Amino acid sequence: MEHAIRISCTRRNLKVVRDFVSDFLLRYHLTDLLVNQIVLAVDEVVANLIIHGNSEDESQFLDVRVDVVNQEFGIEIEDTNLTSYSPTSYHEPDLQEYVRIGKKGGVGMMLVNRIMDRVEFTTHGSHNLCRLYKKLR
């Protein structure tokens, strides 16, 4: 993927990633709704990796790469995870139960899975790669 940035694992860089993705998508003349949905999904994954995967350790980095191939937006988010955070063990939450007990949080990956067409996480040792895909037509 030709368009890439590297960020340190701090919440301050979430806006950097949102702007990077939005600016990249501008050239494809998409609806505001579609751009905002994609940016929301990317923001959620990046936030999870910064906060849960890397404990907001600014000495750790995420590599973010974007591309469009055959009218499909693709993004790769890569890190070296130092904690036990594992997005591959994700299970869809029971929203009715969350409402019943008043639980806040824990629904971000559900949104990502509903917004994006495909979500893939792979891990090899401490090396993690998340890929998100969305058809643009």
**pLDDT score at 67:** 97
Q: What are the tens digits of pLDDT across the range 75-84?
A: 999 998 766 5
Domain boundaries in the chain? 3-135
Residue 55 tokens, joined: 């404990």
Sorting pLDDT into bands at 50, 70 and 90, what band is 129?
very high
In CATH, the architecture of 3-135 is 2-Layer Sandwich (3.30)
Tell me the per-residue pLDDT of 30-64, one tens digit each, with 9 for 90 and over: 999 999 999 999 999 999 999 988 999 999 999 99
